[in-house]
Structure 1
Amino acid sequence: MKGEMSCPRCGRSPQPPGAWSNRWTCGEHGEIFPLSPVAAPSARLARQLGERSDVPLWLVWPLMRGWVVGALLSAGDDVHGVQGTAVAISGPNPFGGAADLVLVAEEQDVGLGAGLAGVEGRDPGDAVKAEPQARVEVDGRTVPLWCVTGHPDRAVYAGHWDGRWLWMILRPHMAGALLLEDLVLADLRMLGSEAEMLPYGAPPPWLAARYGYDQ
């Protein structure tokens, strides 16, 4: 399926800037930063996205055994640049079968993480006011994560890093057990030549179905 720009929250096709607005506009969610279609990832695509993004491209590092990078997504426009990124990885589910983990970095009010998680609104809401339920490590620092209620087939966690939202969305829900491990995140932009050696695979079908697949 040939992909088109889409709303990061609902996946619908937005209207481009025009006479009435200088922003992309979704009929349901108003002004948005549109999401580029899902594309099969590669070292070249990762490098190109990293060069034009001021937002991290989060990746579990080192990548778990048997896992591959399945998709790279970005939300933004020509005026404001990249405002949100998502890296989808796929591999073995601790409880059997396959699992997907999508790591999102975004500025405030973009809504990419919420859209992928099936969360109403543009951010995690009041969930982050409770005690954190998980954590990851970034640059030697512990980042607390809060469990967020989203789509029933997903385990959703969100936190903050450097003033931006950090989301971890796991599918199916039971794959959330991965966060019981001591996961370390790295910014794909900073991996240099190691990014060239990553195993790249195919986009998760549910992502391609929601946002379009640019083959």
Structure 2
Amino acid sequence: MAREPGDQAPVWTCEQHGDVVPVGPAQAPTQKLLRQVALDSLVPVWIPHPMPDDWQVTGLQWAGSGGSVAVVVAVSGPHPMPEVGDEEPTVDLIFVAEQPGIGLGAHLAGLDGVDPGPLLAEKAAHDPAEIKLHADDHEVPLWSIPLVDGLAYVGEASGVWLWVLAWPSSAALALLNRFSLVDARNEDAEPDLPCGALTPRLR
């Protein structure tokens, strides 16, 4: 259980993990909230560009006080290649930018630990990057981490971790080849994004 700063400790603390960064609940996005998150963030606020047709931003979450050190952006839309009889044609993609040691990406991926560094170093030493995604005009190599019912990719972009989580996994490669990522903090980032209800993936 996390404890708020007080007389005994000037920072948030956890009995299991020691000093921790506070994480707020995920929120349904609005244009105003997205702009506010971008203004307050110390890390990139990644959004797809161009946004795929019929897709929406479906969740925002962030960690830190006095400037976000981790930001989550969820987007959802139709499966690009739905199978006959598919009961869940919706696809969810979650982008996480976080400073080292925060652990929000690992938490959303259902992994132990807070930092992908050791796992990523081992995979990178033996295997080439499985995909390369463009983020703010830079090519970012990413390595996969299997999830129970989805797929996660992780790498480094703009000096911090970049997580890309996808459900279902069958949609990941088809979608990630269709767009780049841009930082919503930049003035020329896409200003008016369609926003929808909060995705169950962040509830």
Shared topology, TM-score over 0.5? yes
Match of 2:91 among 79, 93, 99: 99
Match of 1:139 among 127, 136, 160: 136
Q: What is the one-letter code of the residue matched to 2:79?
A: N
Which residue pairs with 1:31 in the alignment? 19
Match of 1:205 among 191, 200, 203: 200
Which residue pairs with 2:86 in the alignment? none
Match of 1:185 among 181, 185, 189: 181
Identity %: 38
Measured after TM superposition, the shift of residue 162 of structure 1 is 2.1
Structure 1 unaligned segments of length 5 or more: list them: 1-12, 209-215
Cα separation, partners in 2 of 1:174 and 1:25, compared to 1, 3 Å: farther
**Does residue 20 of the first structure (1) align with residue 8 of the second (2)?**
yes
In 2, Cα distance between equivalents of 1:173 and 1:62 = 21
Cα separation, partners in 2 of 1:98 and 1:27, compared to 1, 3 Å: farther
Q: What is the one-letter code of the residue matched to 1:190?
A: N
What secondary structure sits across from 2:8 in the alignment? Answer: coil
Which residue pairs with 1:127 in the alignment? 120
Match of 1:109 among 78, 101, 106: 101
Match of 1:42 among 30, 36, 39: 30
Which residue pairs with 2:145 in the alignment? 148
**Residue pair 1:134, 1:179 contacting (<8 A) in 2 also:** no
Measured after TM superposition, the shift of residue 95 of structure 1 is 4.0
**Residue pair 2:183, 2:189 contacting (<8 A) in 1 also:** no
In 2, Cα distance between equivalents of 1:205 and 1:71 = 9
Which residue pairs with 1:158 in the alignment? 154
Aligned length: 192
Q: CA RMSD in A?
A: 1.9
Measured after TM superposition, the shift of residue 22 of structure 1 is 1.8
Q: TM-score, normalised by structure 2?
A: 0.86
Which residue pairs with 1:61 in the alignment? 49
What secondary structure sits across from 1:55 in the alignment? Answer: coil
Measured after TM superposition, the shift of residue 191 of structure 1 is 4.8
In 2, Cα distance between equivalents of 1:82 and 1:120 = 22
